Amino acid sequence: MDEVNISQVVYPRLTLYSEENYRGRTRILNGNLGLTNTDEVESLRFFSTSANATLVLFTRINFKGNFRIYRGSRNIPDLDDLIAGNDVESLISSNIRLTEAQVREIRRTGTLPQGFRRI
């Protein structure tokens, strides 16, 4: 019997770039996750087939500080001065809808929802 390989794509797909405008070194991350420090990330592409997919950007490491919530796929060419003149320092990438209350709880506790990877 022939072996069949099936490739399954996991969303969301987060592509991180080391330079502005999608240049430089590239890192691709899939699935629900939190990136605690975006020190080497200058631009990103966030893609999901779900309109409920959520990208949350924070002004401090470990999901602290001010934040901005995006829904659905998004390209951000420059993470500098993005949130009230502050750089993005950490982020959450989710294929499910995260409410503002959930994001505030993550900010308060530093704990991601069950099933999320912490990077």
The H or E element containing residue 23 is: strand 23-30
CA 9 to mean position of chain CA atoms: 17
Confidence grade of residue 1 (pLDDT, cut at 50, 70, 90): low
Residue 46 has a pLDDT of 98
Predicted model pTM: 0.92
> Among 90, 108, 110, which residue's Cα sits nearest to residue 36?
90
Domains of the chain: 13-112 (2.60.20.10)
CA 99 to mean position of chain CA atoms: 15
Confidence grade of residue 5 (pLDDT, cut at 50, 70, 90): low
Q: 11-53, pLDDT tens digit by residue?
A: 999 999 999 999 999 999 999 999 999 999 999 999 999 999 9
Cα gap 33→106, rounded to integer Å: 12
